Amino acid sequence: MIKAIIFDLDDTLYDFKAAHRAGADAWAAYAREQFQLPEEQTRREIEALITEQAEKMGPIAASHNRVLRAELWLSKRNLPVFPHATALAERYWQTLLDAMVPQEGAVEMLRDLQMRGFLIGIGTNMTAYVQYKKIEKLGLGDIVDFIVTSEECGVDKPLRHFFKYSAKKANETLARAGRAERIEMNEILFVGDSVKHDLEGAHAVKMHALLFDPAGRHPEEEERIQRFAELPEVLMRLSAEM
């Protein structure tokens, strides 16, 4: 049976794309205020930076660091890094955090799982500080039993080490709580919005995986839900099959 459920954070428990747009707008507004640059052009440059930073740094948490992203943007523009790199990152993240709201039914679903005794984890790419701030903003701090970030474990999803590290941390969490049982890979369900980063990564280490697909973009995936209200039915089916 499933004993632990690990959720991706961005674009799973909240709409990252919408919050990111708000953050990018704040970055572009700062560029207009400080450097008289057109906002739409800055927005396009920000999106291009995402791919460039990831290619430059590889699948590690630093590839998501907004201070480093701001430094890259400022340098390409021949603009001063100080004090603007930190100012841009702070404005981006604060605006994003202010814009965040939980996905419909997410908090209720998590509280139900907590009451039913499941171990609840978050498994997320990105740096730890801002991911912890997101969990606080979403009001999930008293529900989540443990969190794994790519900064903590050293690599991004979908690399196998991320998922193995997540299972290890789940068992360490049980041990600290004085629970003698051990959770095996096939007793963990990983829920996320990405076929590549969440499903393929989890399957590679023999975890169960479930796609959160609210827009219905992946009808080819057998294991998927469009609403969190569907999760209990999936859990019942998985338990019956094991």
User: Which residues are tagged catalytic?
Assistant: 8, 10
3-state helix, strand, coil in the chain (%, to 5): 55, 10, 30
Sole residue written with tokens 């999803």: 157
Give the max Cα distance, the chain. Answer: 61
Which amino acid does the sequence have at 102? P
Rounded Cα gap, residues 194 and 116, in angstroms: 26
Burial 65-82, CB ≥16 within 10 A → b, else e:
bbbbbbbbbbeeeeeeee
Helix (H, G, I), strand (E, B) or coil at 45: helix
Q: What is the dihedral of CA 54, 56, 60, 66, to 10 degrees?
A: -60
* Cβ contacts of 40 within 8 Å, gap of 6 or more: 28
CB atoms within 10 A of CB 128: 15
